[in-house]
Amino acid sequence: MLNRKLTKLGAILVSALLISSVLVGCGGNSGESSSTEQKVSYNLGADPQTIDPGLNNSVEGGTVVSNAFEGLVDIDKNEKVIPGVASSWDISADKLTYTFHLRKNAKWSDGKPVKAKDFEFAWKRALAPETASDYAYQLYYLKNGEDYNEGKASKDSVGVKAVDDYTLKVELAAPTPYFLSLTAFPTYMPLREEIVTKDNKGWAAKKENYISNGPFYMTDWKLKSTMTFKKNPNYWNKSTVKLDTITYYMLAQESSATAAYTSGQIDINDNNLVPSVQKQDLIKKGEAKVYPYYGTYFYDINVGDKDSSNGAEITKALKNPKVREALTLAIDRESIVKNITKGGEKPATSFVPSSIKLSDGKAFKNKEYYSAKGDVKKAKALLAEAGYPDGKGFPTIQIMYNEGSNNQDVTQALQDMYKKNLNINVTLQSVERKVQLDNLTKQQYQICRASWIADYNDPMTFMDMYVTGGGNNNPGYSNSEYDALIKDAKSTPDTTKRIDDMHKAEDILMRDLPIIPVYEYTNVVEIKSYVKDFHKSPLGFVYFNNTYIKK
């Protein structure tokens, strides 16, 4: 899932004064508040592009969705599957048919019962070609799911059917060992057909439409400012929910976010919005914690044909694999994680991070595709072979990144390394998170900062992004051999062959390099000591269903 870094301490102090003077009294938890107040304020780090479960593809929107909705299963604090709306399920011997039994006391926030048809509708809606969901491919595991999305099969042939109000039958195209955990993912959340069909693309942008079935429901939404959610009195498991209120803030700048945290305006500053210059000191003092994060920070290179506005020279350069390899090898990743990010990150020498494990507990990563320090000599030689000796004749290219000083610092480091090591000129463009996501989807960029956080603990969550035409294939990359390996890995029952297929596919991806991996994530979070049972998943989402305040 797509994820979203201060250079001057003075900026933090100024922002602190501004935040404390402007935002004081707006509902944040202060040290003097009553110990019985069960409310938490959390910084999402950006205004979500959407909070529609079927359309969202970002961590920010996913966190909102995961606390407002509940899938067939939930994920506990140990990242294990537990019953959600489904109280139980049966799996056929061939692992192709799942029968979910829904609990009869599961209700929507308006009191209506959650029914099996709500899941059938939501899943088929996400697959429908007209919905254009970036995550439609996450439902290709369903029988005929891919064919329906591509217009080759009917909606009725898709392998999900409400047998009755409380029984959902699911047929898979092939055995999928992580399918159960997928049903806790936002795209698999239920939706109410009579609400969504009134405005298929815009229904979730209206507070009055946002009827949900999870622990919390929306009560207020101030665009680009805050979202407020209250405990859902109709949630079947409400007795275990301790918080009364969650307020989500959307502070994208590290200085503003940390100032709001310092002033007590927010209780949790997440999504790596702790300024790099402060990270180590805050971690040592115990004022910030480092959480594992299954993700890679990288840059997409536009190698597709969607956008012709880049110009012939830029398009020609970026479509040359020798140029892309030169851009990859010219980066000193060790320097970036040591001197810029400073949160325990690892240099990314592959696309799938070393944190991703196989079913036997071993890491999927089996090789370093290049040195963490780069290889400037080879990068120069490749650029010369591509027709740009010592950078001569190479067009000025633009790198887009979403706002935030940490992203700016990393991108500026790339700009400096490209000038020093390859003698090529790079301009930078900072945009809002929504704009970045929109431009990535439309492939309206040259090189753009990106990231991917695992949707589940399996290398496939990284590998199937880059199949031809994939919803999150933002570079517009296409390789038939790669596609075949991914398709085979998804259909073979042979575990050894499956892993081998994915290793071969990554070999191709790291040869063609439509992406420039930079580092493997950690997640440094500022969190107040009175916030208890905070569940930060290494998959990126935060779950508040067991969180409480103790002062």
- What are phi and psi for residue 134, nearest 5 degrees? -60, -25
Cα distance between residue 110 and residue 546, in whole Å: 22
Q: Among 303-312, 386-395, 415-424, which stretch is predicted with the lowest mean pLDDT?
A: 303-312
Res 32 pLDDT > 60: no
* Mean pLDDT, residues 276-294: 90
| pLDDT tens per residue across span 427-450 | 999 999 889 999 999 999 999 999
* Mean pLDDT, residues 133-145: 96
Q: How far is CA 549 from CA 27, 165, 543, in A?
A: 15, 38, 14
| pLDDT tens per residue across span 127-138 | 999 999 999 999
| pLDDT tens per residue across span 401-419 | 998 878 999 999 999 999 9
Residue 224 structure tokens:
């680009």
* Domain 290-523 top-level CATH class: alpha beta
Structure confidence at residue 35 (pLDDT)? 54
Residue range(s) occupied by CATH 3.40.190.10 in the chain: 30-267+528-549
Q: How many CA atoms lie within 13 A of 396 on its CB side?
A: 4
Which pTM value belongs to this model?
0.83
CB contact at 8 A, 231 and 241: yes
CB contact at 8 A, 118 and 191: yes
Structure confidence at residue 215 (pLDDT)? 98
* Mean pLDDT, residues 100-122: 98
With left for phi above 0 and alpha for psi between -120 and 50, is residue 270 left, alpha or beta?
beta
DSSP 79-132: S-EEESSEEEEEE-TTS-EEEEEE-TT-B-TTSPBP-HHHHHHHHHHHHSGGG-
| pLDDT tens per residue across span 35-78 | 568 999 999 988 899 999 999 988 899 999 999 999 999 999 98
**Which residues partner with 99 through β-bridges?**
90, 169
On the 0-12 / 13-18 / 19+ scale of CB atoms within 10 A, 17 is: exposed
Structure confidence at residue 36 (pLDDT)? 65
Res 20 pLDDT > 90: no
| pLDDT tens per residue across span 348-379 | 999 999 999 888 888 999 999 999 999 999 99
- What are phi and psi for residue 85, nearest 5 degrees? -65, -35
Q: Give the percent of the chain with pLDDT over 70.
A: 93
Q: How many CA atoms lie within 13 A of 229 on its CB side?
A: 28
SS3 state of residue 2: strand
- Could you report how far apart the first and last alpha carbons of the chain are, in Å? 34
Residue 419 makes CB contacts below 8 A (sequence gap 6+) with 425, 426
Residue 391 makes CB contacts below 8 A (sequence gap 6+) with 383, 422, 423, 424
On the 0-12 / 13-18 / 19+ scale of CB atoms within 10 A, 384 is: middle
Q: How far is CA 350 from CA 362, 459, 476, in A?
A: 16, 12, 20
* Mean pLDDT, residues 175-199: 96
Res 383 pLDDT > 60: yes
Residue range(s) occupied by CATH 3.10.105.10 in the chain: 290-523
Cα distance between residue 72 and residue 84, in whole Å: 5
Other beta carbons less than 10 A from residue 481's beta carbon:
10
Structure confidence at residue 253 (pLDDT)? 87
Res 26 pLDDT > 80: no
* Domain 30-267+528-549 top-level CATH class: alpha beta
| pLDDT bucket at 33, cuts 50 / 70 / 90 | very low
- The mean pLDDT of the chain is 91
Of 489, 172, 473, the closest CA to residue 358 belongs to 489
Q: Among 33-42, 88-97, 395-404, 414-423, which stretch is predicted with the lowest mean pLDDT?
A: 33-42
Structure confidence at residue 308 (pLDDT)? 66
| pLDDT bucket at 8, cuts 50 / 70 / 90 | very low
| pLDDT tens per residue across span 227-238 | 999 999 999 999
Cα distance between residue 61 and residue 59, in whole Å: 6
Buried b (16+ CB within 10 A) or exposed e, 201-223: eebbeeeeebbbbbbbbbeebee
Longest dimension (CA), the chain: 70
Q: What share of the chain is helix, strand, coil (3-state, %, to 5)?
A: 35, 20, 45
Structure confidence at residue 31 (pLDDT)? 39
Q: Among 1-10, 182-191, 314-323, which stretch is predicted with the lowest mean pLDDT?
A: 1-10
Task: Match 């809002």 to its residue by tokens.
Answer: 432
